[in-house]
Structure 1
Amino acid sequence: MRSTIRHSVAAVLGTALALAAQAASVDYKIVTASERGTYIQIGRDLARFVAPQADIALEALPSAGSAENVQRLRSEPGVKLALVQSDVYQAFLDRAAAGNPQAAETIKPLRVVMPLYNEEIYFITRADSPLQNVHEIKDARINVGPLLSGTALSATTLYKQMFGKPLPDGQASYLSNEDALVKLTVDKSIDVVVAVAGQPAKLLVDMKPEARQLIRLLKFDAANPASKAALQTYFPSVVKASNYPNLLPEDIPGVAVKAFLVTFNYGQSDTTAHLSRFARALCQNFPTLQAEGHPKWKEVNLALPPLGKGWSYYAPMVREFNSCVSEHARAGRVIQPVVNPNTKPNAPQCPQQERILGLCKS
């Protein structure tokens, strides 16, 4: 009889503990980018290697890109994290500073979790094109990527910095990479397709050797005056032939933009607790991300450098990073130190940049 009672009590306690654990787990989402891009792979790595330890069931969702991610982080239920390009985040801040109230409302409560890595910006042209370098695209017909995408923002911002004027609407198209490549190579109604993805980018990795007969990548000449102007915001890079053996016979100079993991300035205790645990789990599982995740994780570190004016870290997650770094230091494992979350250095027609950011009222 006593044995039966003990088994019954154990069963009840086991069920209660299981229900408590289930209740403690939450369903969160992270918005990324194209199914063929790097962002969604980074999101899936976080879902696989980090989120379970924080009692989070994390779903990596595809999107049009960074600008859409900012909007969805602000408005879509369940979306707690987003991957955002640095120039997109800065563009919202710039539009807010210029007096756009929608941009200000959108960006003000966003917070940075951590910088990630540089994403390469690829300029793809036809194999028989006379274009050789990015600074030669001034008069080209350019597909900049879908509206609300980080690619479109990067392409148009980089163009404006290089040539001192916005990309003319008559030269711009806003198709997906796949649709644009068809027009580039078949009816030749596009001269250049811009794609943004950390290498190795699936879009290019999946190309067969025959692709060399159809397309090639333009080189970024950092010494050219137009290129130097773009390097005020972007970073020189090298596109490695080893990542794209079917497309490149040798490494070529490229240009890149920084990727960030971003969240909202949440104040609810439950959300804050789960995101804090997520930060600790990210720190503790960082070696696994670098060993088993996308190759771009090898370019990431846990140091949180000072942010630009208008940018802020999410303080609860930074505290967990600080704590984790201290624990590693006591155990003799060196991780670069993080910073205090408050440390910072110093029209009638809707403009193109605001259309890309989704700030135009219909």
Structure 2
Amino acid sequence: MKLPLIPVFAVLAAALLAPCSWAAAMPEYKIVTASEKGTYFAIGRDLAKFVAPDAGFSLEVLPTSGSAANVKLMRYEPGVKMAVVQADVYQAFLDKAAGGNPEAAAIIKPLRVILPLYNTEIHYIVRADSELNYLHDIKDARINGGLVGSGAALITHTLYRMMFNGPMAEDKASFLSNEEALVKLIGDKSVDVVVVAAGQPAPLIANMKPEAQKFIKLLKFDPTHASAQAALNVYAPAKVLTSNYPNLLTEDFTTISVGAFLVTYDYNLKDTVESFGRLGKSLCQNFSRLQAEGHPKWREVDLSLPKLAPGWTYYPPTTYQLRNCVVKKVKKCSAEERILGLCG
């Protein structure tokens, strides 16, 4: 007896297509960043859009409280394969590990650097009528450094200690989100300074309307001031540009900044190693797109992989690809070239 043709074809199709569908399934990775309104989140989103597809995996961008939390999530949270981390936070874990802290050692020693990113500017926001004008004026101010676990909180307290030779008084410190702190800054005035660590243009500040000038201003950093000298061993001066905050600024000024890094774990499983090899290749191939279409901070990123500080180590699978990277420049096509089909 002959079998009906349709069921036979259906069985054959199922047998042929099922393995292909399974083989085509892409690994699902996660990257931890910071607030959804911050630059780290934008960097993660750019990696998910422009880099991950050619690397053969999907990338979910997770908002977090910031760098300190990211280090722990990178180490222990299932599915998290990458993190954006502030340089001083990474170094703080290394220092604690070197000092004999077993928890810090267990967290930081297996982590590896994929790529140095850019300097993150630290924005110190005060009320427009505040008598404070420089970072060295904030000694007795009530300061919000951001959520516990954030890079902003660490830099706020580390920089304060460096500048004023001692810790911030507990009754002067708060750990609210940027949004909550800004409400208190302007509302009940229970906060005098709000610290926002984000590469410029920081969305939270850049999206403010011109009326904001009536309520807030940004503090300047004087690298020649005596209180600044210790800080300059860890942090670097940075120029805040009027063009990044046209609704708020009338002139450029100097603030302080800290480096940001893209990090991962020292994976050795074959599939993961291969994925990260493709990641390095895709970073190279899509770097021009990142700079042209991604967050403006990508224009400050360099794929040359400079020498790292003692205790820091690059991740070999991505390093191999990036060391051999030749970035293709994106050529802008003229109308005539498009018409002739010469823009391939």
The verdict on a shared fold, with TM-score over 0.5 as the criterion, is: yes
How many residues are paired up? 325
Within 5 A, what are the aligned runs for 1:1-362? 13=16, 16-22=19-25, 25-323=26-324, 325=325, 328=326
Task: Report the Cα offset of residue 28 of structure 1.
Answer: 0.2
Work out whether residues 288 and 329 of structure 2, in 8 Å CA contact, stay in contact via their aligned partners in 1.
no
- Taking the aligned partners of 1:11 and 1:285, their CA distance within structure 2 comes to 36
Task: Report the Cα offset of residue 223 of structure 1.
Answer: 1.0
TM-score normalised by the chain length of structure 2: 0.90
- Taking the aligned partners of 1:254 and 1:209, their CA distance within structure 2 comes to 21
How much is the aligned-residue C-alpha RMSD, in angstroms?
2.1
Task: Report the Cα offset of residue 128 of structure 1.
Answer: 0.7
| Partner residue, 1:343 | none
- Taking the aligned partners of 1:250 and 1:11, their CA distance within structure 2 comes to 66
- Taking the aligned partners of 1:210 and 1:320, their CA distance within structure 2 comes to 48
- Taking the aligned partners of 1:53 and 1:214, their CA distance within structure 2 comes to 46
| Partner residue, 2:334 | none
Amino acid paired to 2:23: A
Work out whether residues 305 and 323 of structure 2, in 8 Å CA contact, stay in contact via their aligned partners in 1.
no
Percent identity between matched residues is 56
Structure 1 counterpart SS, 2:149:
coil
Higher alpha-carbon deviation: 238-247 or 161-170: 161-170
- Taking the aligned partners of 2:77 and 2:106, their CA distance within structure 1 comes to 15
Amino acid paired to 1:88: V
Task: Report the Cα offset of residue 309 of structure 1.
Answer: 1.2
Work out whether residues 304 and 323 of structure 2, in 8 Å CA contact, stay in contact via their aligned partners in 1.
no
Amino acid paired to 1:181: L
Task: Report the Cα offset of residue 105 of structure 1.
Answer: 1.0
Task: Name stretches of at least 5 consecutive residues in structure 2 with no aligned partner.
Answer: 1-5, 331-344
| Partner residue, 2:335 | none
- Taking the aligned partners of 2:329 and 2:60, their CA distance within structure 1 comes to 34
Sort the Cα spacing of 1:7 and 1:320 in 2 relative to 1 into closer, same or farther, 3 A.
farther
Task: Report the Cα offset of residue 13 of structure 1.
Answer: 4.6
Sort the Cα spacing of 1:100 and 1:11 in 2 relative to 1 into closer, same or farther, 3 A.
closer
Task: Name stretches of at least 5 consecutive residues in structure 1 with no aligned partner.
Answer: 334-362
- Taking the aligned partners of 2:308 and 2:300, their CA distance within structure 1 comes to 19
| Partner residue, 1:347 | none
Amino acid paired to 1:306: K
Amino acid paired to 1:18: S
CA deviation string 1:119-170 (max 9, x = no partner): 1001000111100101111111100111011110111111111111122212
- Taking the aligned partners of 1:86 and 1:57, their CA distance within structure 2 comes to 26
Task: Report the Cα offset of residue 8 of structure 1.
Answer: 9.1
Task: Report the Cα offset of residue 222 of structure 1.
Answer: 1.1
Amino acid paired to 2:19: A
Task: Report the Cα offset of residue 228 of structure 1.
Answer: 2.4
Task: Report the Cα offset of residue 100 of structure 1.
Answer: 1.5
- Taking the aligned partners of 2:293 and 2:308, their CA distance within structure 1 comes to 29
Amino acid paired to 1:293: G
Work out whether residues 147 and 177 of structure 2, in 8 Å CA contact, stay in contact via their aligned partners in 1.
yes
Between structure 1 and structure 2, the one with the greater Rg is 2
TM-score normalised by the chain length of structure 1: 0.86
Higher alpha-carbon deviation: 94-103 or 234-243: 94-103
Work out whether residues 267 and 273 of structure 2, in 8 Å CA contact, stay in contact via their aligned partners in 1.
yes
